[in-house]
Amino acid sequence: GAGVSQSPSNKVTEKGKDVELRCDPISGHTALYWYRQSLGQGLEFLIYFQGNSAPDKSGLPSDRFSAERTGGSVSTLTIQRTQQEDSAVYLCASSFSADSTGELFFGEGSRLTVL
Amino acid sequence: TQLLEQSPQFLSIQEGENLTVYCNSSSVFSSLQWYRQEPGEGPVLLVTVVTGGEVKKLKRLTFQFGDARKDSSLHITAAQTGDTGLYLCAGYFYNQGGKLIFGQGTELSVKP
């Protein structure tokens, strides 16, 4: 497709379960970003990739969160042993490159609900 | 840690009124962007400002970047109901590479 694709669009899980969220960036975009957004709030930075490397993973809230990117394309955000406070919309974005003026193109997000 | 302060957090106005949203930081931006987000969708870029003192216009929207590159404003003239949405400022900072930090957002509601 032409845009950033995220799956699943909605995920309901029980506390303590692991979840994987997937992001397919725009073809040719070398930079990929993950953010978390609570209802009506701003975006909380989690991690970004340049190629397959993650220069900055400082936003990951705890060691239960991890992300990887393979082949310079698809990325997976994994949350282990989910907690209720993990409930949020997880947004992925891609950019042509991770420079200081790049426009981010966002997917529609994955809404995670932890019961 | 660079932080962006955005104000006001909520704004409810009547159609035809003017409004201004502010974004500032204690650190110098290498560049600053404004995004707009509608419910159920990801944010979409409105503008990027790079040069201190820069002013950009997009129809009824005017964006200013402070001379010291620590603040920015978004001014909407004669707001329309279609302007309703979440407005987000986001900044790149020196020595932070490609990390883009977002403000808390301004939820704008324009009533007919």
Q: Which residue ranges form the domains of chain B, and what is each CATH number?
A: 5-111 (2.60.40.10)
Cβ <8 Å between A48 and B98: yes
Chain A hits for B92, CB-CB cut-off 8 Å, are 100-101
Q: What distance in Å separates the CA atoms of residue A78 and residue A64, rounded to the nearest whole number?
A: 8
Q: Which of A42, A102, A105 sits opposite B104 (nearest CB)?
A: A42
**Which residues are paired to A24 by β-bridges?**
A5
Residues of B with CB under 8 A from a CB of A: 6, 30-31, 33, 35, 40-45, 48, 50, 86, 88, 90, 92, 96-105, 107
Q: Which residue of A has its CA nearest to B32?
A: A101
- Number of C-beta neighbours around residue A115 at 10 A: 10
**Strand-pair category, A105-106 with A110-114:** unpaired
Q: Note the pLDDT of residue A50.
A: 93
Tokens 């019961």 appear where? Answer: A115
Q: What distance in Å separates the CA atoms of residue A88 and residue A111, rounded to the nearest whole number?
A: 6
Where on the phi/psi map is residue A85: left (φ > 0), alpha (ψ -120 to 50), or beta? alpha
- Per-residue pLDDT for chain A (115 aa), expressed as one digit of tens each? 589 999 999 999 999 999 999 999 999 999 999 999 998 788 999 999 999 999 888 899 999 999 999 988 999 999 999 999 999 999 999 999 888 788 999 999 999 999 9
Beta carbon pairs, A and B, within 8 Å: 74
Cβ <8 Å between B48 and A43: no
Tally of CA atoms within 13 A in the half-sphere of B7 that contains its CB: 4
Nearest CA distance, B47 vs chain A (angstrom): 9
Report all structural domains of chain A as residue ranges with CATH numbers, in order of start: 5-11+23-97 (2.60.40.10)
- Number of C-beta neighbours around residue B94 at 10 A: 11
Q: Name residues whose C-beta falls within 8 Å of residue B22's C-beta, 6 or more positions apart in sequence.
A: B6, B7, B71, B72, B73
Q: Note the pLDDT of residue B7.
A: 96
Q: Note the pLDDT of residue A1.
A: 55
| Nearest of B60, B4, B8, B61 to residue B32 by alpha carbon | B4
Distances (CA, A) of A49 to A89, B76, B86: 19, 34, 26
Mutate to test the interface with B, among A95, A101, A108, A110 (most CBs of B within 10 A): A101
Nearest CA distance, A102 vs chain B (angstrom): 8
Cβ <8 Å between B98 and A108: no
- Residue type for B62, please? T
Q: Note the pLDDT of residue A111.
A: 97
Tell me whether residue A112 is exposed, middle or buried, using C-beta atoms within 10 angstroms of its C-beta: 0 to 12, 13 to 18, 19 or more.
buried
Tell me whether residue B10 is exposed, middle or buried, using C-beta atoms within 10 angstroms of its C-beta: 0 to 12, 13 to 18, 19 or more.
exposed
Question: A30 at the B interface (CB within 8 A)?
Answer: no
Q: Which of A4, A41, A106 sits opposite B105 (nearest CB)?
A: A41
The four Cα atoms A53, B91, B38, A56 give a dihedral, to 10 degrees, of 20
Return phi, psi of residue A114, to 5°. Answer: -105, 120
Residue ranges of chain B whose pLDDT lies below 50: none
Q: Note the pLDDT of residue B97.
A: 83
